[in-house]
Chain A
Amino acid sequence: MEVAKLTDVTRIYKIGEVETRALNGVSLTIESGEFTSLVGPSGSGKTTLLQLIGCLDQPTSGKVIIAGKDATNLNRNQRADLRKGTIGFVFQFFALIPTLTAYENVEMPLLLNGKSAAERKKRVMELLSAVGMTDRANNRPDQLSGGQQQRVAVARALATDPKLILADEPTANLDTENGEQVMEIMKKLNKETGATFVFATHDPRVIKYANRVVTLQDGLIVKDSKVNGKS
C-alpha cells in the first residue's frame, strides 16, 4: 500500500527577489512498512522533501497524496488534522515541550486525538516502556540526556499509531551509543508494528539500518536503491 505519493513536486523559496529551487521536480512513492533514508549533500532538499511529505509545508507545484488523501491544496487546519492521526515527527533537536514531563509529552498527541484518560494512560506506559523510559516518565526534558529526550520524542511520534513516521536527522545530536539505541528502537517498532519510517540524514549509522536509500542532489532524486539494511 502507498503511504505517500509525490508527483513532480517543486518547492521554490522566495526571499525578496532571490528564488531558491529547493526541490526541482521530484516524484517519489513510499510504500507501507518502508525504512527509508533520504541522503544527499547539505542544501540538496532533504528537509524540504520531508516537510512536504509531512504536510508541514505545501509544494509550489506538483501533487502530494498522503494515506490516499490529496494533501496538495489543504488549508492550515485541514493539514493539521491530517497530521494529527496519520504522521508522527522526530526532529533533530528533539522538540519536546520543555514545561511538560516525558509522560505528558507523549500524552499530548493522544489528547489532541480525543482519547479517553484510561486509553491515554495505557498507551503512554506502553510506549515509554517500548523506548525504555518508564522510570523517567515524570522527568522534564531538561532533566533528560539528549538520547533520552530523543527516545521520548520517538514515543511521542508513535503515540497515535501513525502510518508514517518522519525523522529529520534524528541522530545528529546524539553520540554513537545513543544514536544506535534510538535507531534500534525505531527499527524494532518498524518490524513489530509495520509503521513506515522516512529519515533525512547524513549519518552512516542511520543509513546502515535502511532498506531503501534515496539520494538527492540540487533538488532532484539522483539515485533510489533498495538495500539490505541491518536488522
Chain B
Amino acid sequence: MESTLRLSSGHLQVRDADYDPDKLSVAWEYLIENPEQIAAQIEALDQVDVATPRLLASGIISVQSDSIGVQIMGIDPASRANDPYRHLVSGEFLTADDREGILIGYPLAQNLALNVGDRINLLVNTADGTVDEQLFTVRGIYTTGTTAYDKGIVFLPLAKAQAFSGAGNHASMIFVLLKDREQAEFVAKAIPSRNFKVETWRELNSLLVLVNDFSNAYLTVINLIILGVTITVIVNTLLMSVFERTREIGILSAIGMKGRQIIAMFLAEASLLALGGVTVGSLAGWALSVYFGKVGIYFGDLGLSADMLLEDRIYTYLTLESAINLIITAFVFTLIASLYPARMASRMEPVEALHNAQ
C-alpha cells in the first residue's frame, strides 16, 4: 500500500481548483503558478516530508514506424519524492538542466527496442491546444517493478517539460509525501486553499483503499477459518488424550486429586502444546515471511488501470505487532479449546474410570 502511494498518488496532491486529472491539459488556467514557491511553503509544514511540483502532459513517442501514447511527467530530479523512479536498469537519472534527455520505463524500452543513447521523437499536446515535437535522447531506463506504470510514463526534467509544452512557470500538481500518512486529512485542511483543491491518498485511491479493506476483511475470514480448524484439532487431540488416559485419571482421582487439579493438569498440558506449536509456527512463519519479503511473490503484470497500481511482485512482511497478536490469540484459543476436554476429564467418576479401563 505505502509503496503504491509513494509511486503514484503520494499522500496528498495539491492542484488547481479547475484541474481535471483525466484530461492532462497543460492550459494555464488549469495549472498552478509558481509551483516551486508553493511546494516550499507546503514542505515547511511540520507533518510534511517532501513536496514537489509535477507537470503532466500527454504525448506520443515515435521510433521509426512505431508510435505509442505516453504520459509525460516533468519532475524535479533532485527531489526525494522521485526516488521510486531512480531504480535504473541502465543509463543515468535525469539532471535538472538536461534539455534533451528523457527517462523511459523498461517495458516501453523493450517494446520499442530502445537502448540508452538512442534517439526518439516525442510529440506533446501544448498549452495553446496545438502540438509540438522534438528529438530526445534516452538517458536512462527505469523500473518501479510495476509494469502497468512503467510502460506508460516517461520523465523529463520539470523545466524542460514546462518549456516543451508551453506551460511556462506552471505545474499540474504539488505532490506531497507526509511523515505519517494518517495525518493526510489534517494537513489537507492546513494547506491554504485559495484556488487549490487538495486531495488525500484516500480520495485519490478510493478503489485501492476499497480493495485493501476488502482484502483485510478477507484475511480476517481466512484467519477465523484457520482458527476454527485449529480449535477443532486441539479439542480432538485433547479428547483423545482424555480417553486414552481414563484409567490414569481414575487412579489420580482415587488417590485424592480434585476436579480442579485435573483441569489444571490438562490445561498445563495444553499450554505446553500451545507453546510448542506457537514456537514452531512462529519460526516457520517468520522464515517464510523473511524469504518472501526478500524474493517476493511474482504475480506478473496485473495490467490494472492507473487507479490501482500494484507491483508485479508482492513482498511479504511481518510486523512485531501482528506476530504478537497472533501468538497471543493462538495461546488463548488453545487454552479455551482445551477447557472442554479438561472439564470432561474432571467429571469422570473414579469408579467408572477404573472400571472401563480394566
A82-96 with Cβ < 8 A to chain B: 83-85, 88-89, 91-93, 95-96
Q: A-B pairs with CB below 8 Å: how many? A: 55
**Distance in angstroms between the alpha carbons of A77 and B257 in the assembled complex:** 8
CB <8 Å contact, B354 and A85: no
Which residue of B248, B260, B347 contacts A97 across the interface (Cβ within 8 Å)? B248
| Interface residue? B80 (CB, 8 A) | no
CB <8 Å contact, B256 and A97: no
The interface on chain A, measured as residues whose beta carbon lies within 8 A of the other chain's beta carbons, has a size of: 25
Taking CB atoms, residues of chain B closer than 8 Å to A88 are 255
CB <8 Å contact, A83 and B254: yes
Which residue of A77, A93, A156 contacts B255 across the interface (Cβ within 8 Å)? A156
**Distance in angstroms between the alpha carbons of A85 and B255 in the assembled complex:** 9
**Distance in angstroms between the alpha carbons of A57 and B355 in the assembled complex:** 12
Known A-B contacts A57-B349, A98-B248, A112-B261; A93 and B358 likewise in contact (beta carbons under 8 Å) = yes
Residue on B nearest A97 in the bound complex, by CB:
B248
| Interface residue? A145 (CB, 8 A) | no
**Chain A: minimal CB distance from B293 (Å):** 43
Taking CB atoms, residues of chain B closer than 8 Å to A113 are 256
**Distance in angstroms between the alpha carbons of A113 and B257 in the assembled complex:** 9
CB <8 Å contact, A56 and B351: yes
Taking CB atoms, residues of chain B closer than 8 Å to A211 are none
| Interface residue? A28 (CB, 8 A) | no
CB <8 Å contact, B252 and A108: yes
Taking CB atoms, residues of chain A closer than 8 Å to B261 are 112
**Chain A: minimal CB distance from B309 (Å):** 60
Which residue of B248, B260, B351, B358 contacts A57 across the interface (Cβ within 8 Å)? B351
| Interface residue? A222 (CB, 8 A) | no
Taking CB atoms, residues of chain A closer than 8 Å to B354 are 56, 91, 95
| Interface residue? B314 (CB, 8 A) | no
Taking CB atoms, residues of chain A closer than 8 Å to B260 are 77
Taking CB atoms, residues of chain B closer than 8 Å to A85 are 256
A133-151 with Cβ < 8 A to chain B: none
**Interface code B333-358, partner A: CB below 8 Å = 1, 0 otherwise?**
00000000000000101110010001
Taking CB atoms, residues of chain B closer than 8 Å to A54 are 254
Top 7 nearest A-B pairs (CB, nearest first) are: A84-B256, A80-B258, A83-B256, A109-B255, A95-B251, A57-B351, A56-B350
10 sample A-B contacts, Cβ–Cβ < 8 Å, listed by A number: A54-B254, A56-B254, A57-B351, A76-B259, A80-B256, A80-B257, A95-B251, A97-B248, A108-B255, A112-B255
Spell out B's residues near A (CB within 8 Å): 247-248, 250-261, 347, 349-351, 354, 358
